[in-house]
Structure 1
Amino acid sequence: MGSVRTVLGDLAPALLGICDAHDHLFLRSPQLPGQELDDAGAAARELDAFRAAGGGAVIQWTPHGMGRRAAELPRLARESGVHLVAATGLHQAAQYAPEVLERIMPDAAELFVTELTEGIGGTGVRAGMIKVAGSFHGLDRHARHTMAAAAEAQRATGAAIGVHLEQGTAAPDVLDLLCGERGVPPERVILGHLNRAPDLIAHRQAAESGAYLAFDGPSRAHHATDWRLPEALAALAEAGHGERILLGCDTTTAAARSVNGGPGMPHLLRRHRARLELTLGEDLVTKFLTANPARAFAADWAPAAGG
């Protein structure tokens, strides 16, 4: 099965524990002005609360250029006892100044590989996954370029690719590009935000491809679809796709943190888990939180150049 690349080093997948498979400790976005996740103390308190609720690992999907604060992550992991995985990659073009993209885009694949094998920005903290993003019901030029770079980096390293699906859409386009055109094994693709479009047919088609499906939330913006999640996951499980499902909280604003009165990371285990167990049973939900992410984020890591 390989290993999971955490900010403190590579880890046997069985040691990952209960995993929040899509979240953010630090995040800065021009789409969320004034709502930045940039307080290391608040991040530490959130991890402590997650650990107290039984959590063992958090996968931080914050990509390059969005305030990852990679240098803070090893300390937070050691002090909280929570395994942390950092991300490389790029989000949608709207998340960056044009001059930043002009500098990065020509060598995006090389950047991703460097951050996966050598470290992020001179910190020595290696990323353990690649994050990219689609568009609403399609892929624009930026998405195609970044996904092609992600595919190249995936082949060079073995890392999983996590994909932001805008409003939960465009999964077929993503799979056609990554797996069909670029040869990424579908089991190395994680499709995020599928809860935002509770289309049971689309979910089943995505699962049949062999990709992992990440259902994250809750949030104020997508509360109208949150209540459909037990139905969606039950349909996937009944169709034999229970091993493809991942769960996360996707905390993107300071107000959403539990330490600031929001649901935050602990909600996944304090309320969300119990609600899903009523429909799906304890054993299956435990699989979503443990065995599935252990497989999804593990890789047979290729050595660094010259290593």
Structure 2
Amino acid sequence: MIRTVLGDIRPQDLGVCDAHDHLFLRSRQLPGQELDDVAAARAELEAFRAVGGAAVVQWTPHGMGRRAADLAGLSRATGVHLICATGLHQAPHVAAESLAGLRGRLAEVFVAELTEGIGTTGVRAGLIKVAGGFHALDAHARWTMTAAAEAHHATGAPIAVHLELGTGALDVLDLLCGELDVPGNRVILGHLNRFPDPVTHRQAAASGCWLAFDGPSRAHHPTDWQMPAAVRSLAEGGFADRLLLGGDTVTAGARSVDGGPGMPYLLRRVRPRLEAELGPDLVARILTEHPGRAFSIDRA
């Protein structure tokens, strides 16, 4: 099943899915650029729906303004399935007092948000989002990933990992799948488009994990032109069934309704570009069948 903000649905009912994006996000690293406008979030979902989108996985975790209480209403109003995250990002993104309040009970919080709901909202999270560092895992990353693994083993929820500039994939897999016994197919690696190294990508894919290419280029990592070849290399290497696509809108100015590429860009521009590289049938599976498998939860 897929745990949406309106309840559990069958994977085959998810539809065309943006596998990594944000309707709401607040970070100490992005002052003045918060995603915190309900009307703009609704307009963005309507724009995504208008180009054929049916589902969005919001990777905004605990302590970053995910506004879980607003997600059910947005899903009903727009007809777009929404999946909400629990989890914890890198320490610089989260208020110090919020981090202090989680010491000694992080896995407990993750499990509660997956099974009982987020606060009093009645919304249950459908995935656990954590983050690595730049080419390494610091103590914070190991703490959050250890808690994520514990929550996964208790609930069956998938673990989605922010890779800093796309790096550190093999270190993440060594920890999660090696030391912490999380099955590879329960791990989703994000931002691989930002570090388009085909050797590393294939080594990571061999674990059985999901490989997410999510978001257009930004000023400090202009890699769009390399992304289609990286995806084709994985498909040719026998890993076509492990691919995911997302938009990763993280600032207000990046929304399509505010002049940026936003969620519709995934279907307006990325999809036809990849169809030319991979063929429409595979791209259709990447957008529909693959998210239904990657984000499934196998326990009530």
Specify if TM > 0.5: yes
Deviations 1:44-85 (A, max 9, x none): 000000001000100000000000000000010011000000
Say yes or no: does 1:167 pair with 2:172: no
Using the alignment, how far apart are the partners of 1:75 and 1:123 within structure 2? 11
Counterpart of 2:288 in structure 1 is 290
Deviations 1:123-166 (A, max 9, x none): 11000000000011110000000000000000000000000000
Using the alignment, how far apart are the partners of 2:86 and 2:100 within structure 1? 18
- Secondary structure of the corresponding residue to residue 44 of structure 1: helix
Counterpart of 1:271 in structure 2 is 269
1:210 is aligned with what amino acid?
G
* 1:68 aligned to which of 66, 69, 78: 66
* 1:129 aligned to which of 127, 130, 137: 127
Deviations 1:159-208 (A, max 9, x none): 00000000101111111111111111110000000100010101111111
Counterpart of 2:87 in structure 1 is 89
| Pairs aligned (count) | 300
Task: For 1:34-183, list aligned pairs within 5 A.
Answer: 34-183=32-181
Using the alignment, how far apart are the partners of 2:247 and 2:95 within structure 1? 27
Q: CA deviation at 1:234?
A: 0.4
Q: CA deviation at 1:298?
A: 0.7
Using the alignment, how far apart are the partners of 1:221 and 1:174 within structure 2? 26
- Secondary structure of the corresponding residue to residue 241 of structure 1: helix
Q: CA deviation at 1:224?
A: 1.4
Using the alignment, how far apart are the partners of 1:265 and 1:105 within structure 2? 35
Counterpart of 1:305 in structure 2 is none
1:282 is aligned with what amino acid?
P
1:81 is aligned with what amino acid?
G
- Secondary structure of the corresponding residue to residue 239 of structure 1: helix
CA contact (8 A) 1:27 1:62 kept: yes
Counterpart of 1:28 in structure 2 is 26
Q: CA deviation at 1:97?
A: 2.5
CA contact (8 A) 1:167 1:196 kept: yes
Using the alignment, how far apart are the partners of 2:94 and 2:85 within structure 1? 17
Using the alignment, how far apart are the partners of 2:160 and 2:147 within structure 1? 13
- 5+ residue gaps in structure 1? 303-307
Using the alignment, how far apart are the partners of 2:209 and 2:286 within structure 1? 14
Task: For 1:125-274, list aligned pairs within 5 A.
Answer: 125-221=123-219, 224-274=222-272
CA contact (8 A) 1:196 1:222 kept: no
CA contact (8 A) 1:116 1:126 kept: yes
CA contact (8 A) 2:137 2:172 kept: yes
The TM-score with structure 2 as length reference comes to 0.99
Counterpart of 1:15 in structure 2 is 13
- 5+ residue gaps in structure 2? none
CA contact (8 A) 1:161 1:190 kept: yes
Q: CA deviation at 1:222?
A: 5.2
Using the alignment, how far apart are the partners of 1:199 and 1:271 within structure 2? 23
The TM-score with structure 1 as length reference comes to 0.96
Using the alignment, how far apart are the partners of 2:140 and 2:228 within structure 1? 34
Q: CA deviation at 1:221?
A: 3.3
Q: CA deviation at 1:287?
A: 1.1
2:254 is aligned with what amino acid?
A
Question: Once superposed, which parts of structure 1, at least 4 consecutive aligned residues long, lie more than 2 Å away?
Answer: 219-223
Using the alignment, how far apart are the partners of 2:131 and 2:149 within structure 1? 13
Q: CA deviation at 1:101?
A: 1.1
CA contact (8 A) 1:154 1:161 kept: yes
Using the alignment, how far apart are the partners of 2:61 and 2:219 within structure 1? 21
CA contact (8 A) 2:152 2:158 kept: yes
Using the alignment, how far apart are the partners of 1:53 and 1:36 within structure 2? 25
